[in-house]
Structure 1
Amino acid sequence: MIYIHFIINPISGSGKHNLSASYILSQFPKDKYKIEVDYTNQKKHAIELTKAAIAQNPDYIIACGGDGTINEVASSLIGTSIKLGIVPVGSGNGLASNLNIPRDFDKAIAIIKKGHATAMDVGQVNDKYFFSNMGIGIDALIIKKYERAGKRTLPAYIKAAMSSSLEFKPKKTIVHFDNQTLEINPLMLFISNSNEMGYNMSLTPKASLQDGLLDMIVIPKLSFLEKIMLGFNVLRNSIEKFKKAQHFLVKEIQIEMPSKIFIDSQIDGEQHNLKTNKLNIKILPEALNVLVDL
């Protein structure tokens, strides 16, 4: 008998999804599957629920939410043999899109039933993990404003981006990688493991979850018109045409912001205030087994 533990974030995607325990139980014959379903009721609750589920030794733990919920569940699975499954009900759903996991419940459940897993790389920044991307530039401020807006929609994201473009002030940042040192004041310092941020937008369209590398995008301070062009290229997934965007493939990066005490960041689309001004970022090859449609 296969034991599958579902963790549902009921407010993912503005809480408009109707994924329920009764629907999930109806999809799995009782003679073949043991099914447990938990609901989160606050931020970071999925971490507690996942740790409790791990103690029951399930075969799969399924994150039902957006990239933030997936991060909380998946972070707890690093170092275990338990497979991660995903039912995407978030707003952006960047990681699920990269893994070709559809938003259609029946199709996502069908992938879980097949039980085919693949190993994917995981990013780590200090003591935290990321599966899609992280950043310490304007994207961190965008996410901060986006969360405060209370609406998980593309228009709300665009509004947050426009407001941030007027407010964000780049700070001196020292970046060490591959025997190189950059001293920059970046508008954006974005590090990605996947080829999509969410909402079908990407700064790293050629990134791979299985190449053992992180894609780093560095964009310097820009004029107002250049910011508009950057936004246009992001929406069109044509960042390679934006000449001021530098692209590096890296395995490990050290970052220091000497004028800061704490660093504001976004990690998998969630805002974090990191209680340090130094970051060590690296790739952990094949550190997570995830259910996919092979």
Structure 2
Amino acid sequence: MDASLGRSPTVAVIINPTKFPDFAATKDQVTDGARRFNWHDPLWFETDKADSGVTAARSALAQNPDLVCVMGGDGTVRAVASVLRGTAVPCGLLPSGTGNLLARNLGIPVDSLSDALEIAFLGQNRAIDVGLATFDDGEERAFMVMGGVGLDADIMEQTDGDLKKKVGWGAYVVAGGATMFRAGFGVTLSVDGEEHASGDCLMVLACNCSSVVANIELATGAKVDDGNLELVMLRPNAVAGWVGVAIDVATRMRNGMASLGQWSGREFRFDLDRPVLAEIDGDPVGQTRTGRFGVDPGGLLVRLPVPARLG
């Protein structure tokens, strides 16, 4: 709601307080930004460890805000998005944390709160896709960037939280070094109802965005508003090894002699020959032998820069 239509619009801010060393100063900066752009002082809702922001988002939505802003990492964004999905309330991203993968893919600054605030208060609303993942426990979980099983989940589980705060992406490299030589697993994969691949595998990753780690474009051509997911499968390659994988990523090779296979679609189903760890948006969610990845096209409204850059 525009202030020119008779009232100042309202914003609810969902914040993970552990991400902000000077919590009071951060709140003051957001409040100052709201006043500068003629919005009411923000309504504040803090997350907790139990649900990463789901309860806070539901409480915020009950206040009928014109905008909900998220201040936290990828896990907080995912939790809030799962609540806002399917509503007409836009989501503004005020990034904090190591990853901020959705913000990076949407062209929202991750190192300038003032710039992110300007986008949230003055930007345009755009509908983007929401990924959906279901594993052995039967619970459907929303994700905004990626969901997968295998190597990616192992790396996320092994990443040291304190090290991540100190060195950022380097913590994932350390974790990757400890996990990349683990044994693979057998997989049978179907895409939109048709079987497309079977054999040995190290990772199955459904991507809603092209860049899923350290600004590396792993899912070539993925767009967050095209109504599809891109599924990337990492196969063992005894000849080329991890050097070959790096070349495949750099040259965008897929599905030939490469270590990486990629398929585009709206629904992916997989069966594994043993339980393997799963993750969504970087959060491990337990082991699974079966799974489904789907997409809710245009399921979430977000505030984007003008002009928007979607990836």
Task: Please give the TM-score of this superposition, normalised by the length of structure 2.
Answer: 0.84
Choose 242-251 or 63-72, whichever is displaced more. 242-251
Choose 73-82 or 179-188, whichever is displaced more. 179-188
Q: CA shift at 1:239, angstroms? A: 4.0
Question: 1:280 corresponds to which letter in structure 2?
Answer: R
Residue 290, structure 1, aligned to residue 295, structure 2? no
Alignment map for 1:198-237 (pairs within 5 Å)? 198-223=213-238, 226-231=241-246, 234=249, 237=250
Choose 203-212 or 224-233, whichever is displaced more. 224-233
Q: CA shift at 1:35, angstroms? A: 1.1
Residue among 117, 138, 144 paired with 1:131: 144
Choose 106-115 or 26-35, whichever is displaced more. 26-35
Unaligned stretches of 5+ residues in structure 1: none
Partner of 1:279: 291
Partner of 1:156: 171
**In 1, distance between residues paired with 2:302 and 2:14?**
15
Contact 1:187 1:222 in 2 (8 A): no
Residue among 84, 89, 112 paired with 1:82: 89
Question: 1:284 corresponds to which letter in structure 2?
Answer: D
Contact 1:95 1:132 in 2 (8 A): yes
Cα–Cα, structure 1 residues 65 and 32, in superposed 2: closer, same or farther, change >3 Å?
closer
Alignment map for 1:249-260 (pairs within 5 Å)? 249-260=264-275
Choose 147-156 or 191-200, whichever is displaced more. 147-156
Residue among 8, 12, 15 paired with 1:8: 15
Q: Deviations over 1:34-68 (max 9, x none)?
A: 41123324252411100111111111111112211
Q: CA shift at 1:89, angstroms? A: 1.2
Cα–Cα, structure 1 residues 140 and 26, in superposed 2: closer, same or farther, change >3 Å?
same
Cα–Cα, structure 1 residues 48 and 286, in superposed 2: closer, same or farther, change >3 Å?
same
Contact 2:236 2:259 in 1 (8 A): no
Identity %, equivalent residues: 24
**In 1, distance between residues paired with 2:39 and 2:17?**
27
Partner of 1:72: 79
**In 2, distance between residues paired with 1:43 and 1:209?**
28
Q: CA RMSD in A?
A: 2.3
**In 1, distance between residues paired with 2:260 and 2:154?**
19
**In 2, distance between residues paired with 1:158 and 1:32?**
42
The 4+ residue runs of structure 1 with deviation greater than 6 A are none
Partner of 1:169: 183
Cα–Cα, structure 1 residues 24 and 60, in superposed 2: closer, same or farther, change >3 Å?
same
Question: 1:282 corresponds to which letter in structure 2?
Answer: G
Cα–Cα, structure 1 residues 32 and 16, in superposed 2: closer, same or farther, change >3 Å?
closer
**In 2, distance between residues paired with 1:191 and 1:271?**
15
- For this pair of structures, how many residues does the alignment match? 286
Alignment partner of 2:131: what SS? strand
